Chain A
């Protein structure tokens, strides 16, 4: 895409975001909504500026725990996804356990993590990891499981081993699935980290929001939400760009021609 196409594609979402905030601002002024119920965007913005040092300090922590947890999730998710997709035995053995594990609410695990690791960074990393790990496993495994038999026949008729089939077509074929899952998981990782911080931390956006709400500093709570949302969008966009670069073939003509 050239610069003009990029700016053209950015225009609609920008307009929508501006419209939403304008509507919000107008509604809160028109109906005189109290600040401790729903602060107007202008009030949130003011609070962002006032507390910028504290917000920066806490954002760093949240970004750090999220990225570490997410990075671990990518490694473990990719490895387990490939193992499950490669072998039906591993698939049958592990899948029920994985589904059961994923069904456990992650917020309920945090107190257990606190007992094991104490308050602070480690529970946040682990929660971010746990919540973002599952979609990666499932997607990578699906990419391998839906490998067309015809595609395999092409390689098998040449005498390719199972390992070669896996390398030459299994992995490239599952890459689009992998990146699709990264976009979902990246935002989930923030959710995990913030949940853990609201339960057991002394630093981080989640912790900051908890403290702010206990002081009825509602604009700062919303400022925290905005910061998390922005970080999530940036991480999402980062993986979307990498995805386009590496698996452009899966999108055919949409962006390449």
Chain B
């Protein structure tokens, strides 16, 4: 690799006190992500996957070990990061479009310009909504649209300020299988067009292999990275690809590694 990695976690440890004892969430977690790479992190429940995302978003600071994004150490929330959670968590008093615009009211330099250029920003948001198949839904309230549609809006909100790094915490976990597969493609399309860096945390191994360039497997708590594999399938991938022997080989190997990690 000639370029320096965009995201670096180097033997990071996160521990916090709980009931007078020290709980170690992740230990020796190491991760290197290239700019524009799509990474999936998977592993058994409670292995500290979400902790990794919180570290990168600056919501949580490590007890030990460097965490950096874009060459700079993470010391708190950053403007070049967008995050989407498992629950869409849209603000119920805002219409869809206003929900998508929320980050622009907070993140500089958009915050400064927001009032003056609201119309321009609104049309950007409309465009983004249209690109995930939500054209014409801008003035609906969150409770007036389905769970899958809310998750699309959630993706738009995470991307509206054009972050270089997108963090996804099981964003499709609560959706039905069909909607989920539809959103895989929506996300792949967005990524192919814009080429931001993605770190996706997921339980769903098919999802991980379908979407990611590189899949990391973490061990149970205290979480550490126990396996890394590169998915060489060409883009854009289709749902048909998930039934090829190449795909299933990678899938089975990841599955086996998680089984081994859980047994230890």
The 0/1 profile, CB within 8 Å of A marked 1, for residues 60-87 of chain B is 0000000000000000111101010101
C-alpha spacing A247/B93, complex, angstroms: 8
A150 pairs with B91, CB closer than 8 A? no
Tell whether, in the assembled complex, residue B91 and residue A151 are in contact, meaning their CB atoms are under 8 Å apart.
yes
Please determine whether B77 and A159 come into contact, CB atoms closer than 8 angstroms: yes
The answer to whether A168 and B59 have CB atoms under 8 Å apart is no
**Is B107 within 8 A of A249, CB to CB?**
no
Q: In the complex the two chains form, what is the Cα distance from A175 to B58 in whole Å?
A: 30
Asked if B10 is at the interface (CB within 8 A of a chain A CB), the reply is: no
B93 partner, pick from A157, A160, A172, beta carbons under 8 A = A172
The answer to whether A249 and B141 touch across the interface, beta carbons within 8 angstroms, is: yes
**Measured between alpha carbons, how far is A17 from B76 in the docked complex, in Å?**
61
Q: Is B89 an interface residue (CB 8 A)?
A: yes
Tell me the complex Cα distance, A148–B81, Å.
22
Q: Is the interface of A mostly helix, strand, loop or mixed?
A: helix
Beta-carbon nearest neighbor of B86 in chain A: A150
For the complex, is A68 an interface residue (Cβ under 8 Å from B)?
no
Within 8 A of B (CB), among A150-199: 150-151, 153-160, 164, 168-169, 172-173, 175
Known contacts being A169-B91, A253-B143, is A156 close to B59, with CB within 8 Å? yes
- Decide: B92 and A159 in contact? CB cutoff 8 A: no
What residues on B are CB-neighbors of A168 within 8 Å? 91, 102, 105-106
Q: Give the residues in chain A near B77, CB-CB below 8 Å.
A: 156-160
A164 touches B106 (CB 8 A): yes
Asked if A257 contacts B144 (CB within 8 A), the reply is: yes
A159-B78, A159-B106, A249-B92 known; A153-B143 Cβ under 8 A? no
Does A226 count as interface, using CB distance less than 8 angstroms? no
CA of A35 to CA of B85, assembled, Å: 69
* Chain B 35-60 interface mask (CB, 8 Å, partner A; 1/0): 00000000000000000000001110
Task: Flag if B143 contacts A252 (CB, 8 Å).
Answer: yes
Q: Are B83 and A159 in contact (CB-based, < 8 A)?
A: no
A173–B58 Cα distance when bound, in Å, is 25
Q: Which of A148, A151, A158, A249 contacts B103 (CB 8 A)?
A: A158
Bound-complex Cα distance A164 to B114 (A)? 15
Also in contact, A172 and B143, with CB within 8 A (given A157-B77, A159-B76): no
| Distance, CA A150 to CA B93, complexed state (A) | 16
- Contact status A157-B89, CB under 8 Å: no
> In the assembled complex, how far is the CB of residue A149 from the closest CB belonging to chain B, in whole angstroms?
10
B-side contacts of A148, CB under 8 Å:
89
Cβ contacts under 8 Å, A151 to chain B: 89, 91
Instruction: Known pairs A164-B106, A168-B91, A175-B93; list 5 more (Cβ under 8 Å).
Output: A151-B91, A157-B81, A159-B76, A160-B106, A172-B91
Q: List 17 A-B contacts (CB under 8 A).
A: A150-B85, A150-B87, A150-B89, A153-B59, A154-B89, A156-B59, A157-B59, A158-B79, A159-B58, A159-B76, A159-B78, A159-B79, A159-B106, A160-B77, A168-B102, A175-B93, A249-B92
